[in-house]
Structure 1
Amino acid sequence: MRNIAVFFIFTFGILFIAQAAPADEITGYETLINWASLPSAKTGMTSHMASSYDRSGANEDWNWYPGYDRQLNALTDNETTVTLLDVQGSGVLTRYWMPHATANGGRAVTITVDGVAMVVTDTNTLLGGSYATDDTNLFKSPLVQTVAGGQMSYEPIGFSTSLKVEWTNLAHTSQPGMTSYTRRGYYQLNYQLHSNDSVASYTGSLTDQQSSARQQAAAVISNVGANPAGESLSSTKLNTAAQSIAAGQSISLASMGSGQSGVIRKLNLKMDDPSDAALANLRIRINYGAQSEFAVDVPIGAFFGAASSSAQQYKSLPMGTDSTDGYYCYFPIPYRDGVTVEIYNAGQEDFAIGGGIVEYEAGPVADDMGYFHAGYNVSNPGSATHNMLSVSGKGHYVGNILTIKAPESDADGLKSNILEGDERILVDGERVLHGTGLEDAYNGGFYYNHVLKQDDDGDPAYPATDVGAFGGLLLMDTLKDRESGEPDILSGILQASQCRWMLQDLVAFDTGLNVSIENYGGQSAIYESTSFYYLVPEPATIATFLAAGFVSLCRRRRQCR
């Protein structure tokens, strides 16, 4: 018994020492500069969003604020200071989004950190990238971006005890001078709360640690299209030659057997002028070890964001279709006991690929590293809500690709207000992140700058494609205006495809997650989505851990009483 007691004390001593070791303060740049740690469990962190969604259940998702049971749109509400977010604790504001047109309205905004007003400016200056601080790099590109009618800041604002965001509310009424849509107060504020780690509070300037982290993060964003993890001198590349895949058959891109562990750093697939049928029927499938179900089983078009054979190529941080090696996926994919990656032809005819590359790094995988998953869902035309993801367990959600289409039988296309549908993320069955409209969820604004068009800050009018590092519009295919003959979103939408990557603003969950989007107006739209997330395997219990040590001790002594 004495040996067992020594083992028990020694084991818990190690655990205690490991937990007591000091850690660097959280800066908010961690996801971008520590890309390889993206799969790791996000312990002690909860994800939240404050937004202007209509609390009455209608569709007027503006001028709504916490603490009010009505929309602040009366004459008496004009030019009043209102609170968008007021939170206690330690955390990081990770994303501040507004429609470009509304941000250009220039309402006053104040961000108070730990009781001190640290940002005092207006929305046009802040989200247009011209806000001046003690550090001239802060609140500038590439962490402040304009994409497809939306403007957003991914400049992290850390706080140790509290964070408060206020602005000037502007009424939008029929009164003279108050009818401009730019007066409507749309907003989304994503933030994380941390219970276990120390957070570096925003002070208007950066410490050496923060400055180094920001430089690295900016370099990753500026080099979009390259692997955010950088190059590896110890990785292995598996190359697959160009070939045709027969109907009902599959080819292997990678197969690591039982007992092998490591991380896939990159997936590439070359497709030379693929047809829509090839994009829909060739499926990428990933299976871990002896698991009976695929963690990924998704059409390659829906997985990589190749929205259509006619869509322009794009680059974003984790995914893209524009690289010298073809389509790319940079999400780290850990495996513990082998993994297979294959392309399966689910169609009725042969389809060709131009080749493939799987780059991996063999080695041990930490216990808290989650398995990469992609959930693929299609909703029938007319469904009131499209369920994008429903999953149980512990993990974190890192984004999605969504396509909405008009049925081929619908020559009039979809009404443009299909983009009014709100996104809802239900975390652990109790906390809701409620969005303000479809294009808002994908960093766009005002129908992806097809209405209330803005042309400053590099925002293109009527874009067919406009994607930033964290997502945007992959494809807008509309009918043409009968008089001008030009594409016109108000004439009808044939297809709208978009992506959003939640990296600094990833959504951690402990027991489960549900992601859905509203089909506004119940139109006959076909929704197709791929949601990306990590699931952390159930940890061994302390009892199991001790039992394993006890058995090991018995074996060494060749006795067990």
Structure 2
Amino acid sequence: MKHLRYLIIGLFLPQIIFAQQKLQLKDLLKNFYDFSALPQYLSNVNIGQESTYDRTGGNNDGFNGTYSFVRRNADSTLVLLDVKGAGVINRIWTPTPTDDSLDFYIDNDAKPSFSIIYRDLFTGKVYPFVAPLCANQLGGFYCYLPIPFARSCKIVLRGKRAEFHQIDYHLYPKGTAVKPFSLPLQEDEKGALETIKTLWAKTTPGVHDFYQTPFTTATKEIALKPSQTALLFEATTGGRIIGFEIESATALDELAKNMDLRVTYDGEQTPAVYCPLADYFGYAFGKASMKGLMVGADGKKHYSWFPMPFDKSAKIELVYRSANGGDPSIGTVNLLCNVYSTNQKRDAAQEGKFYAYWNHENPVPTGKPYTELQANGKGHFVGVALQAQGLVPGITGFFEGDDSTVVDGQMRMHGTGSEDSFNGGWYALLDRWDAAMSLPLSGSLTYSIPLSRTGGYRFYISDKVPFAKSFLQTIEHGPEHNAWPSDYTSVSYYYCDQSNTQIIIPNAENTRIYMPDTLQIFPQLAYTAMDNFMNVEAKWTYPTSAKTMFYTVQENSLIKMSLQDIPEGKYTMFLDYDKGPDAADFSLWQRQTALTDWMNANANKTERVPMQEVCAIQITNLNNSFSFHFKTPEGKNKFTLNRVILVRE
């Protein structure tokens, strides 16, 4: 996880916003429920970030607080942000809030405009810092409530230590009139917050929730077979697609990796979107996962609400590739498609076209970060969905890597860890970044230590990142030097004034889902049930990336471990455990079937057995667990377990 102070020079937001009316909080809140302005360029807007990343290239991104403040005041308070000009704070993120006070100096360096306990920016205890814009999940604490200022903004922590944080902001062109943030909120500002809360609380918001103006619906029912291409929508005059939905009669799952979404505008030779359906809609390794504000799917219903303006024509197609050279068992897929559009064509001087950049690297080159988006032209970045797979068994250490953004040839943003970039924190810790969870603006796509994979997504709706000539966003794989063997796949969503050639196009080989043949299960992080008397303690003991579990058992005690994340198949099981003078006897079972005889773990002194083959095990969807049974001869009642290793046969 990783202090950064950079400015990103943006482009071309209509000058009327800045020159003829005062920008207010209610206008900024509108971005969260009205997407009509999303294609608009930013005009002379600078985007900045204060981030705590390690300047040396190491992994001290906040652990020691070395880079966690702009300066330390004479009274030892810490300045976290100090910017001049008119602007707005868009996002404050941290996994390490404290109970110290934060003072916000808005347009006044002498007296705070308001103060709040750092933690209460996110807890919902202090209005208007309430959900859904301010909350904490997946190990991260985030505040998306816009905090506008007319002349300056400074944030001071009344504490002696800060750790990880990222503070993102816009600075507007000189002369921009801004109404500074003040408390209490006015009624129209409260109303905008309530609108956001109501809309985001809907399980499946539809097009009518985002667009109240008239639009046309084009509906098609399609029976699509392998090697066929279906036309979902076509327009031969200028206009804009304001959203589309694709619904399948049955869950598509891995089949969605064999179907490509292809969108083309204005007769361009390079498609604006050309990627697997699964990846565009935020699947995680063949399973529907993302249900975000802008894009998502439940396996059957898929939706996209990014506005797509075009000049002369537009076409949406679905290409059904033959899986793995043509699997005869795969048949027809029945789909219902709705595309919503208007005849409002693109304002080429003020708006970009929508693009999705798909990339896949297996392996990601050693010594180089993974490329999420590389684009030329004028535009702005609005989101990314990433699937990250480790190619060595064990913990997801590749997710220590930082994201970095290069705008017009200069690095402008640098993150503090992969899950941090998705508003999370602390992967592999219980109730932090340890499972899939979908939130409106960001989330975790999946998390599995046995399969050594995870993923995340984030939409940049109020904090879109502009570029004038070029844009490059990358993410590291591993804590340092991009050395962790990895397989990464991503889709980046952006607007631009020109098409950019995608490095690769989907095919059977580069859309195949990697499946490891060696899987590690750490009992500290596994789904476990226990029966009869047992005491348990978790302690750091060996360099296995997780704590060792120390069990005190009795006769007939039982530990049952779930294998629900493990793919079906036959495996050889190995144990990493300790022998010792007080060790109990144990045997392994799968439900009521014994997998081993009784095993004697007794030894004169404690010694680690790092990988002992113990049995074969067949795992199915209906039989996906195993158990330890215990005997305690002569009162020997200890069992120490480090790992379980499964090797696919």
Q: Same fold (TM over 0.5)?
A: yes
* Residues in 2 aligned to 1:240 and 1:275: alpha-carbon distance in whole angstroms: 18
| Change in CA separation of 1:80 and 1:317 when aligned onto 2, cut-off 3 Å | same
Q: Which amino acid aligns with 1:501?
A: F
1:380 maps to 2:362: yes
Deviations 1:422-478 (A, max 9, x none): 00011222251110000000011111xx31x4xxxxxx4574211211111011122
1:114 maps to 2:107: yes
Deviations 1:134-165 (A, max 9, x none): xx4x1011111222111111111111111111
| Change in CA separation of 1:440 and 1:461 when aligned onto 2, cut-off 3 Å | closer
**What is aligned with 2:497?**
536
2:164 aligned residue (169, 176, 186): 186
**What is aligned with 1:547?**
none
Unmatched runs of 5 consecutive residues or more in structure 1: 1-15, 172-183, 454-459, 480-492, 539-561
1:496 maps to 2:471: no
For the 8 Å contact 1:32–1:220, the answer to whether it is kept is no
For the 8 Å contact 1:286–1:339, the answer to whether it is kept is yes
* Residues in 2 aligned to 1:66 and 1:513: alpha-carbon distance in whole angstroms: 28
* Residues in 1 aligned to 2:396 and 2:498: alpha-carbon distance in whole angstroms: 42
| Change in CA separation of 1:380 and 1:21 when aligned onto 2, cut-off 3 Å | closer
1:475 maps to 2:446: yes
How far is 1:128 from its partner?
A: 1.4
**What is aligned with 2:226?**
246
How far is 1:47 from its partner?
A: 1.5
How far is 1:322 from its partner?
A: 3.6
* Residues in 2 aligned to 1:272 and 1:20: alpha-carbon distance in whole angstroms: 48
Deviations 1:504-541 (A, max 9, x none): 11111122211000111512210111100001369xxx
How far is 1:364 from its partner?
A: 3.6
How does 1:442-453 map onto structure 2 within 5 Å? Answer: 442-447=422-427, 450-451=428-429, 453=430
1:332 aligned residue (303, 307, 332): 307
TM-score in terms of structure 1 length: 0.77
Q: How many residues align?
A: 465
1:203 maps to 2:198: no
Q: Which amino acid aligns with 2:344?
A: G
**What is aligned with 1:289?**
266
* Residues in 1 aligned to 2:198 and 2:40: alpha-carbon distance in whole angstroms: 23
1:44 maps to 2:32: no
Q: Secondary structure at the match of 1:363?
A: coil
* Residues in 2 aligned to 1:224 and 1:59: alpha-carbon distance in whole angstroms: 39
Q: Which amino acid aligns with 2:113?
A: M
* Residues in 2 aligned to 1:237 and 1:129: alpha-carbon distance in whole angstroms: 39
How does 1:402-481 map onto structure 2 within 5 Å? Answer: 402-407=386-391, 410=392, 412-413=393-394, 415-447=395-427, 450-451=428-429, 453=430, 460=431, 463-479=434-450
1:141 maps to 2:131: yes
| Change in CA separation of 1:445 and 1:243 when aligned onto 2, cut-off 3 Å | same
Unmatched runs of 5 consecutive residues or more in structure 2: 1-13, 500-649
* Residues in 1 aligned to 2:351 and 2:143: alpha-carbon distance in whole angstroms: 29
* Residues in 2 aligned to 1:232 and 1:17: alpha-carbon distance in whole angstroms: 25
1:321 maps to 2:282: no
* Residues in 2 aligned to 1:208 and 1:31: alpha-carbon distance in whole angstroms: 18
Q: Secondary structure at the match of 1:60?
A: coil
How far is 1:277 from its partner?
A: 4.2
Deviations 1:170-223 (A, max 9, x none): 55xxxxxxxxxxxx6100111111116322211122234434433333333333
Give the number of the structure with larger relative contact order, counting CA–CA contacts within 8 Å between residues 6 or more apart: 1
Deviations 1:390-428 (A, max 9, x none): 111111110100001134xx5x24x32222100001122
1:81 maps to 2:77: yes
Rg (Cα) greater in structure: 2
For the 8 Å contact 1:426–1:433, the answer to whether it is kept is yes
**What is aligned with 2:487?**
526
For the 8 Å contact 2:447–2:453, the answer to whether it is kept is yes
For the 8 Å contact 1:224–1:469, the answer to whether it is kept is no
**What is aligned with 1:256?**
235
For the 8 Å contact 2:94–2:140, the answer to whether it is kept is yes
**What is aligned with 1:219?**
198
How far is 1:272 from its partner?
A: 4.7
Of all paired residues, the percent bearing the same amino acid is: 24
1:505 maps to 2:463: yes
Q: Which amino acid aligns with 2:268?
A: Q
How far is 1:227 from its partner?
A: 4.2
| Change in CA separation of 1:215 and 1:366 when aligned onto 2, cut-off 3 Å | farther
Q: Which amino acid aligns with 1:531?
A: S
**What is aligned with 1:93?**
89
* Residues in 1 aligned to 2:344 and 2:182: alpha-carbon distance in whole angstroms: 40
**What is aligned with 1:125?**
120
* Residues in 1 aligned to 2:18 and 2:474: alpha-carbon distance in whole angstroms: 40
**What is aligned with 2:618?**
none
Q: Which structure has the highest strand share of the two?
A: 2
* Residues in 1 aligned to 2:308 and 2:15: alpha-carbon distance in whole angstroms: 30
* Residues in 1 aligned to 2:254 and 2:438: alpha-carbon distance in whole angstroms: 24
Q: Which structure has the highest helix share of the two?
A: 1
For the 8 Å contact 1:49–1:191, the answer to whether it is kept is yes
| Change in CA separation of 1:21 and 1:186 when aligned onto 2, cut-off 3 Å | closer
| Change in CA separation of 1:166 and 1:362 when aligned onto 2, cut-off 3 Å | same
How far is 1:494 from its partner?
A: 2.7
Q: Secondary structure at the match of 2:115?
A: strand
Q: Secondary structure at the match of 1:302?
A: helix
Deviations 1:222-246 (A, max 9, x none): 3363147624463222222142232
* Residues in 2 aligned to 1:17 and 1:83: alpha-carbon distance in whole angstroms: 33
For the 8 Å contact 1:46–1:509, the answer to whether it is kept is no
Q: Which amino acid aligns with 1:339?
A: A
For the aligned residues, what is the CA RMSD?
Answer: 2.8
Q: Secondary structure at the match of 2:438?
A: strand
Q: Secondary structure at the match of 2:420?
A: helix
* Residues in 1 aligned to 2:120 and 2:142: alpha-carbon distance in whole angstroms: 12
**What is aligned with 1:162?**
152
Q: Which amino acid aligns with 2:196?
A: A
For the 8 Å contact 1:395–1:510, the answer to whether it is kept is yes
For the 8 Å contact 2:404–2:411, the answer to whether it is kept is no
| Change in CA separation of 1:213 and 1:22 when aligned onto 2, cut-off 3 Å | farther
| Change in CA separation of 1:81 and 1:233 when aligned onto 2, cut-off 3 Å | closer
Deviations 1:468-507 (A, max 9, x none): 111110111221xxxxxxxxxxxxx532121101111111
* Residues in 1 aligned to 2:399 and 2:292: alpha-carbon distance in whole angstroms: 22
**What is aligned with 1:237?**
217
For the 8 Å contact 2:34–2:210, the answer to whether it is kept is no
TM-score in terms of structure 2 length: 0.67
For the 8 Å contact 2:78–2:160, the answer to whether it is kept is no
